[in-house]
Structure 1
């Protein structure tokens, strides 16, 4: 209680620094000074907020930063604790000599210290994702037609007219290479029913780039953003970096619970959804919820970010109409990516924008990165124009369907006592439910030590109780790789039963 009283007194509600950053810094000081000892349990975020007189979102943001840096350790069903193995502290440095004229200007801590809202991105975004079993959302890059791609590239260079080479070798258009935008407009019209022109399309360095820029353009500090829970960590990070307040909105079998969003933040300025396949749980947003979401957005004057990240790989039935196709007021921004359709290293994505937002996004794109590499854009455009994209997607769809079937059979054959899994209609991964008493986080940690990469759904949750769920990717892995991964998981579960590996309540 003494510590909480001290924290409450130290929080300056009129300072320029947001409250969650102040709370984060003070907790780091208390942990490193030993006032909060390793293994000590903290009050719940709700109790913490009530005792400090701040919003719960303020405490959640501070805790998220501390968890991502290793100062705190959440234990599902138990609470949040000071980590037993704290991150190493940098050695103290002698104070730098500061020009008296600069020192007189004041605000040194604000001008010289890094901005924690953007420098403390979630670890799930910072680490390089490896193509090892069972990495989710990773395409079969070894099956990409590299020789065909190389031939297109060689032809592109050979066909360059020296007199007109400036279009590809000179300055690029911040909006994107026009032939690529034309090809994308045709693609989304055929595949998703979108009505748009090349003028509505802006090219980005992947979908996350578009999400981040949308938060910068559409949000002002203090505004609320609906985010699916569990959901994509990139929107939480970008909204926070823009000074906005992410609001965790639960999902159920029909997708995001619109009524819950209205109850929690009726004045939200922005909502992020993955309606075609909710990330990470995989359900489709029902048609009723789609209409309800658009009706609320219209009444609230809010924008909707529609992330359609892997609809191309659908194995059963037809997808529902995209939100953008149902939108009659120009409130939906549709995001797509070539990272799943082609390969992640390409770093190209796109947004289909309402007319009213195009100029703002193009202007911002000119500031942030200016434009994506022109030759890569020209190659993707040629790949699409010649019909190679459609052929490649069809081939990968068949391959991924076979690989999903094989993984499901292997789970049933070798792991049925510890987990169950159901097929997905869309995408590159399945959700597995662990038997009672097993923790997704601990299974993922044990798997990582054996060279696997498994995503526990709890890593993407704010309030949802989902530690019994894990994601298993299948798209990038052949049968031998999956067999090896299943064998490792079998060994891990056996070790957990013997007590050789920590169970959820251990330690």
Structure 2
């Protein structure tokens, strides 16, 4: 209680720093000063929030940051404790243990140096984020059929005879569990029109894992990569870590501007695109633009990474054919993920590869991570084979459509003075346009101090002028949560107006 009272006196609600950052800093000070000792249990996040007079989301964000940096450690079913081995107290010999391997691989040593590109990953990739309103691209994990999943798991474990145990409890195939690859091949053939076999599929720990390995395999230092602008920060990070040069290619209402890309980098070796639903702006790449991209890639000998991250959740019409389905020269690598279809904690994704690249990717996969956990792969395979995936996706599609309608109506009723929004045909979030004079980054920062998560499109832009746009997710939130979030966001806008008016008068 003494600690909480002390903390309360040091949280400045009018400071520029978000409340969760202030709480994070204050707890680090208490831990490093010894006021909070290693192994000591902290109050629950709910108790923290009540006693400090802040939202629980503020405390969760601070705890998540402290856990990711090693100051706190959660214990399932027990609570959160101060780590017994604090970051600045870890033995200096820890890094020495990997010195022989690093010395034997000079390239690895350079790539992992403190000032190297691989150590500067975007914050969105480094920190675990909570499903607080209005986080984008997060499925309704509370609606996942956990009991059905548990029943499948129990059946799987009970059926582990010696032969099955040897396959699922022993070492796995770097390419992935074959029944899962069979199920995926059937799924993408039906849903996206892809022509492939299980032999073309490799299982990864999520789509980002596949993107990163593709950059390592297909690029050499100094080669250039087309990246959508604004676009997915993971490709910029992976290309840079591989020593390549990301080239920001603008997007318009038809998707990536192929002609502009040719002007900027005619010799690019790799292209990353999200044609089914451009991330983050949401447009679908036109058929003409798709053919233009494939024609250029074939002539230039470039590879195309197609990230099809949430096409399953489409609410109107049918999607265009995937790039992979249009490819006649074997230039397209198609990436999919179960993070949106099922749940993020599963960390399973897949790539459908041109035949010429399969062996290289399987060999690399054997080195980087070796293989994904076999029991999880077996569970997903059974979930798909028994028809549960198709049923779950249909249920979520209907649910997300209702939640999108609710969010759009709420914006129109309560926030039309500050923003407008249009429906999306695909996915888990909408794009909102702010009224003139409002900055997406400022709105996101102010909202974060109140426990909301709003993504400013400018955070994903290199040269594009998009600070008037923000993303609002709806898939993970019920109507009560969204209504509460709308109220908080309205207060944010009112406070920003008042502050701006005060500043104008003062000047």
Q: Does 1:174 align with 2:192?
A: no
Cα distance in 2, alignment partners of residues 111 and 491 from structure 1: 46
Runs of 4+ aligned structure 1 residues displaced above 3 Å come to 109-113, 500-504
Q: Does 1:403 align with 2:400?
A: no
Compared with structure 1, are the counterparts of its residues 163 and 284 closer, same or farther at alpha carbon in structure 2 (3 Å cutoff)? closer
What residue in structure 2 maps to residue 191 of structure 1?
191
Cα distance in 2, alignment partners of residues 197 and 384 from structure 1: 16
8 Å CA contact 2:434, 2:469 repeated in 1: yes
What residue in structure 1 maps to residue 247 of structure 2?
247
What residue in structure 1 maps to residue 157 of structure 2?
157
8 Å CA contact 1:176, 1:372 repeated in 2: yes
Three-state SS of the structure 1 residue aligned to 2:420 is: strand
Compared with structure 1, are the counterparts of its residues 394 and 502 closer, same or farther at alpha carbon in structure 2 (3 Å cutoff)? farther
Three-state SS of the structure 2 residue aligned to 1:278 is: coil
**1:165-206, CA deviations, whole angstroms, 9 ceiling, x for partnerless residues?**
110000000000000000000000000000000000000000
Cα distance in 1, alignment partners of residues 255 and 478 from structure 2: 31
What residue in structure 2 maps to residue 364 of structure 1?
364
Number of matched pairs: 408
- Displacement of 1:396 in angstroms is 0.1
Instruction: Give RMSD over aligned pairs.
Output: 2.5
Pairing of 1:81-120 with structure 2 (within 5 A): 113-114=113-114, 116-120=116-120
Cα distance in 1, alignment partners of residues 130 and 409 from structure 2: 24
8 Å CA contact 2:306, 2:323 repeated in 1: yes
Cα distance in 2, alignment partners of residues 111 and 464 from structure 1: 29
Cα distance in 2, alignment partners of residues 484 and 196 from structure 1: 46
Q: Does 1:334 align with 2:341?
A: no
Q: Does 1:307 align with 2:282?
A: no
Pairing of 1:193-208 with structure 2 (within 5 A): 193-208=193-208
Pairing of 1:456-467 with structure 2 (within 5 A): 456-467=456-467
**1:210-258, CA deviations, whole angstroms, 9 ceiling, x for partnerless residues?**
0000000000000000000000000000000000000000000000000
8 Å CA contact 2:200, 2:358 repeated in 1: yes
Three-state SS of the structure 2 residue aligned to 1:493 is: helix
**1:124-169, CA deviations, whole angstroms, 9 ceiling, x for partnerless residues?**
2112111000000000000000000000000001111124411000
Cα distance in 2, alignment partners of residues 391 and 377 from structure 1: 19
Cα distance in 2, alignment partners of residues 219 and 260 from structure 1: 22
Normalised by the length of structure 1, the TM-score is 0.78
Normalised by the length of structure 2, the TM-score is 0.78
What residue in structure 1 maps to residue 424 of structure 2?
424
Cα distance in 2, alignment partners of residues 258 and 193 from structure 1: 24
Three-state SS of the structure 2 residue aligned to 1:234 is: helix
8 Å CA contact 1:442, 1:503 repeated in 2: no
Three-state SS of the structure 2 residue aligned to 1:438 is: coil
8 Å CA contact 1:442, 1:502 repeated in 2: no
8 Å CA contact 1:496, 1:502 repeated in 2: no
Three-state SS of the structure 2 residue aligned to 1:350 is: strand
**1:333-388, CA deviations, whole angstroms, 9 ceiling, x for partnerless residues?**
00000000000000000000000000000000000000000000000000000000
Gaps of 5+ in 2: 1-87
**1:259-287, CA deviations, whole angstroms, 9 ceiling, x for partnerless residues?**
00000000000000000000000000000
What residue in structure 2 maps to residue 281 of structure 1?
281
Gaps of 5+ in 1: 1-89
